[in-house]
Structure 1
Amino acid sequence: MKIVYIPLDERPCNTDYPLNAAEVAKELTIVMPSKKIMGQKKQPGNINALREFVLEESRDADAAVLSAEMLFYGGLLPSRLHFLNESALEEYRMLIHEIKERNPDLTLYVSNLIMRTPSSSSSDEEPDYYGKYGAEIFQYGWLKDKKQREGISEEEEKRLTDLTFFIPKEYVEDYEKRRHFNVKVNLLNSSLVKEGLVECLVIPQDDAAEYGYTAMDQRKVLQSIRELDSGEIMIYPGADEVGFTLLARAYNEQKGNRPKVYPIYSSTWGPFIVPLYEDRPISETMKAHIMACGCELASSAEDADMILAYNTPGKKMQESWEQENNQDVTYSTFRHLPTFVRKIEKMIEKGFLVVIADSAYSNGGDGELIRLLDKKGLLEKITSYKAWNTNGNTLGSTLAAGVLALSNPSKNKLKNNLLLHIYEDFIYQSIVRMEVTQEELPDKGLNYFDLKGKKEEVRSLVKEKMQEERKKRLSHSFKKMDDASLSIDFPWNRMFEITCRIEKTETKE
């Protein structure tokens, strides 16, 4: 089975890690272009070369998973910075037509994000003016949307007026013009589904909120979808996990499978909590992600192909780095982790495939869960562990990893992926990242967003700390896997994300 894959951008969460998950499925071949033509952060990829790659490789492929951000704009960040005009829309439409003309049997799976609206002022991933006015642009859109939908208070009206005068008009016009164009791209992809050229379109919301520019754009796209009356278009919270999701869906549909997923939660309120950076309860996002990856909800564990062990907050979600010294009391009072871990143990004993979506915190994993799983010797018995930026990121990649491991998986690849994501999602994101940022970078003249010319020095420091934390936190697990196999890098020369690789395993297949 051959699938052509064009990722959202060149970072490992969109390239290396989905491919790692796919390598577990022995009969699956994924072809992806070289990162050299994908661009670098705000620098767009070589769109002509990317399109030529798709046209050529799709000739004999069974399916193609395509990110509109990469094929249309040259990457995720370029989609927030471009100055494209209407002619680009027609060029893209013609590309999709040509892909299908060359291989009419090819199944096309396309993702196209609704542009995010960050709530803080930073130009690291946004236009330069967002560094000074980002928080105010978010507030302006939030109040503007709320006023239109349900009205605002006198105090909020005053704040909206103040923001109107405070933010330079040309910045608001630039921002809204780009958003308006990007919605046209969403609508174009929707129309391609109606034409029968695209079999599945997923429109994830990046860092969604209840009100604001993203919510306004979502309503425009939803209205168009209703008019098209297509069941093959889905909108839900997510972003960087979408490559995982659509690779899993393509794999399922090419094999004629529709696996059943049964969730078990770590807390009673877990299904009803609205996570940070999202706009709906966890259980509703779960339903969308299960459908998006070509699965369905099981009515019972006995009816399931996999068990989704969903680690959720007790009542309130926090950032992962708060768990050590500032943990909200409801993580203890509104959930009982030993019971959750015992459920996982029982499912494994019964022979179920168990994947863990660790969404108790945003931006990293739950140390108490890892401790209990390690103590009971369960970390090497689960099929997947994920715990990254948002609940949607964690959930989508977890489900996909389970799907790709359902049929005679490579045990070596599974074990590599498990340790890799414990290293990155828990050890790095929850512990080492903030420790190094606060305690080491200032003395070196560095900051979270820029490692300048000292990347090698920081890389060595971070790797050492990650290995130390592994020895402290995983005293019962992965004993036969050598620390020397760990390698890391900083793909965007900042602390937010790393490239993490595990090169060795201890068994032969």
Structure 2
Amino acid sequence: MKIAYLPIDERPCNIDYIQMIARSSPEIELLIPDKSMLGEKKKAANTNRIWNWLFAAGESADAFIISIDMMIYGGLLPSRLHYLTKDAGATCIERLRILHKTYPDTPIYASNLIMRTPKYSSSDEEPDYYEEWGRELFLNAYLQDKKAREKLSQSEEQELKAISAQLPKQYIEDYETRRIFNSMINVSMLNLLHEGVLTFLSIPQDDSSEFGYTAMDQKKVVEKREQLRLHKKVHMYPGADEVGATLLTRVYNDIKGITPKIYPIWSSTLGPSLIPLYEDRPYGESLKAHILAAGCQLVASADEADIILAYNTPGRVMQEAWEQAEKDITYTSFRNMLVFVGDIKKHIDSGKKVMVADSAYANGGDQELIILLDEEQVLDKLISYKGWNTNCNTLGTTICQGIIGLKGKVSTIQENLIYHLLDDYFYQAEVRKKLVDDFLPKYKLNYFDLKNREETINRIRDDMLYKSYHDTIIHSFGDMNLGKVSTYAPWNRMFECGMKLEFKGYTKLIL
């Protein structure tokens, strides 16, 4: 099957991860535009070039996966910075109608984000004024929404009054104007779905919260979805950068006419009911949403499942991955990792395929889990492992690799496992903090700007990742001798890294 894939932006999580998963299946050929077409960070892609590529790709594609954020705004960050008019939105809407009319038998699976509102002040991915006023913009909307839906405490009332008095009105107006445009596009996509132009629509929520702008915008979409009775064709849940993977899973399942059955096992009793950092609902609800969006089915027993999802969650309190040296005691007292890993081994030994969503910490994997899986010699027998960024980033990509890998190429799956161990655990949870603490001050750099020292940081990172991997992974991947790790810094910052892995005897380039 040939799938034309237009990603949300040019970072590895939106291109490399999807390509790696697609390569694990002999059945998938992914058509993707050259990175040079996709813009760079806050620099928007040329949407006319994007449209021309998409239209041409339709000649051979069996399905489209389209990021509306890329198609309209020229990327994820430009969607938060643009000054587009309604006419620009209308142009994109009409182009989608033309695409469907030209290729009526080629289904269009689309995604469009509800614009995020981070809780913290930083302009790295937001408008310049978010550096000083981001937290206040979030809190202003959060408290107003909470006041409308529930009741504020006296201290919250005072906080809202103080923020409202200080927050520059021009920033509120600029921010809300952009959100209104975003909501208009979301509602327009539902109309296109109702018309039959789109086949399926995924609406992820990046950095979501129970109250505030995201929740208010979500309500508009829910009302329109109910009005048009599109419950099965429009799925809305926390996430963002995993959406390409989720739609790839759904396209794969739809083309093959299958509904894979997934049975979850949990590392903690409270796990399903906990709300992870950066999201607005419990793990258990996100699990249901992602399984449905991927075109899969949640089942009640391992016997009837095609694949087991081992879901690693906190015991009671969720922390950042780099805080594991001082982790909350409930990571031990409210979960039993020996039982969890024992269950994983039991299922693998019985012939079941097992995928691991490592979501116990935010922004990185769980050291205890990795070591125990290695000790039990089942780490390299997994079909999928992810543990990056937010819970739903991890969950969506875990499911995608797991389902597509059911009949995949073992060597490619193992390469992907090693890649994500290096990226999700060794870099995000361990090496990144050491670099930030020990090396950035030495070169007078900051987390969001490596200036002209990117190559220096890359080489230090390469050595640290290589050493950490070989020091920790002792009993796994005996046939996959990792010879070299070469990294680069997308957007010239520390948040993520891209990698080229070399295995002794051959080289795999992951770009």
- Tell me the residue number matched to 2:253: 252
Moved more, 147-156 or 312-321: 147-156
1:164 Cα shift?
1.5
Structure 2: runs of 5 or more not aligned: none
Cα distance in 1 between the residues matched to 2:484 and 2:378: 22
- The TM-score with structure 2 as length reference comes to 0.97
Whether contact under 8 Å (1:415, 1:505) holds in the other structure is no
Moved more, 308-317 or 475-484: 475-484
- Tell me the residue number matched to 2:57: 57
Q: Which amino acid aligns with 2:491?
A: W
Q: Is 1:340 the equivalent of 2:340?
A: yes
Map 1:434-453 onto structure 2 (within 5 A).
Answer: 434-453=433-452
- Tell me the residue number matched to 2:297: 296
- Tell me the residue number matched to 2:374: 374
Whether contact under 8 Å (2:320, 2:363) holds in the other structure is yes
Map 1:147-296 onto structure 2 (within 5 A).
Answer: 147-230=147-230, 231-296=232-297
1:152 Cα shift?
1.7
Deviations 1:331-384 (A, max 9, x none): 000111011111010111111110000001010000000000111111110111
Cα distance in 2 between the residues matched to 1:389 and 1:145: 27
Say which SS state the counterpart of residue 398 (structure 1) adopts. Answer: helix
Q: Which amino acid aligns with 1:293?
A: A
Whether contact under 8 Å (1:7, 1:70) holds in the other structure is yes
Cα distance in 2 between the residues matched to 1:493 and 1:479: 34
Whether contact under 8 Å (1:412, 1:505) holds in the other structure is no
Q: Which amino acid aligns with 1:317?
A: M
Moved more, 374-383 or 474-483: 474-483
1:153 Cα shift?
2.6
Q: Which amino acid aligns with 1:257?
A: I
Q: Is 1:361 the equivalent of 2:365?
A: no
Cα distance in 2 between the residues matched to 1:154 and 1:207: 27
Map 1:380-419 onto structure 2 (within 5 A).
Answer: 380-407=380-407, 409-419=408-418
Whether contact under 8 Å (2:482, 2:503) holds in the other structure is no
Cα distance in 1 between the residues matched to 2:313 and 2:158: 38
Deviations 1:438-480 (A, max 9, x none): 1110111001111000000000001111111112211112244
Whether contact under 8 Å (2:458, 2:486) holds in the other structure is no
Structure 1: runs of 5 or more not aligned: none
Q: Is 1:6 the equivalent of 2:28?
A: no
Map 1:77-88 onto structure 2 (within 5 A).
Answer: 77-88=77-88
Say which SS state the counterpart of residue 201 (structure 1) adopts. Answer: strand
Cα distance in 2 between the residues matched to 1:227 and 1:506: 59
Whether contact under 8 Å (2:383, 2:406) holds in the other structure is no
- The TM-score with structure 1 as length reference comes to 0.98
Cα distance in 2 between the residues matched to 1:338 and 1:10: 39
Cα distance in 2 between the residues matched to 1:464 and 1:479: 21
Cα distance in 2 between the residues matched to 1:46 and 1:484: 39
Q: Which amino acid aligns with 1:19?
A: Q
Q: Which amino acid aligns with 1:501?
A: K
Cα distance in 1 between the residues matched to 2:280 and 2:454: 36
- Tell me the residue number matched to 2:104: 104
1:155 Cα shift?
2.5
- Tell me the residue number matched to 2:22: 22
Whether contact under 8 Å (1:205, 1:238) holds in the other structure is yes
Deviations 1:72-93 (A, max 9, x none): 1000000000000010121111
1:61 Cα shift?
1.3
Whether contact under 8 Å (1:321, 1:434) holds in the other structure is yes
Say which SS state the counterpart of residue 381 (structure 2) adopts. Answer: coil
Whether contact under 8 Å (2:3, 2:31) holds in the other structure is yes
Cα distance in 2 between the residues matched to 1:292 and 1:35: 27
1:505 Cα shift?
7.2
Q: RMSD across aligned C-alpha pairs, in angstroms?
A: 1.2
Q: Is 1:491 the equivalent of 2:490?
A: yes
Whether contact under 8 Å (2:466, 2:484) holds in the other structure is no
Q: Which amino acid aligns with 1:303?
A: E
Say which SS state the counterpart of residue 30 (structure 1) adopts. Answer: strand
Whether contact under 8 Å (1:265, 1:340) holds in the other structure is yes
Whether contact under 8 Å (1:427, 1:469) holds in the other structure is yes
Cα distance in 1 between the residues matched to 2:447 and 2:147: 36
Say which SS state the counterpart of residue 301 (structure 1) adopts. Answer: coil
- Tell me the residue number matched to 1:456: 455
Cα distance in 2 between the residues matched to 1:442 and 1:507: 37
1:504 Cα shift?
3.5
Cα distance in 2 between the residues matched to 1:304 and 1:500: 34
1:507 Cα shift?
9.3
Count matched residues: 506
Cα distance in 1 between the residues matched to 2:448 and 2:268: 35
Cα distance in 2 between the residues matched to 1:489 and 1:44: 21
Cα distance in 2 between the residues matched to 1:369 and 1:149: 40
Whether contact under 8 Å (2:6, 2:67) holds in the other structure is yes
Whether contact under 8 Å (2:356, 2:384) holds in the other structure is yes
Structure 1 residues 100, 506: closer, same or farther in 2, change over 3 A? same
Cα distance in 2 between the residues matched to 1:343 and 1:160: 48
Cα distance in 1 between the residues matched to 2:503 and 2:297: 35
Cα distance in 2 between the residues matched to 1:242 and 1:506: 35
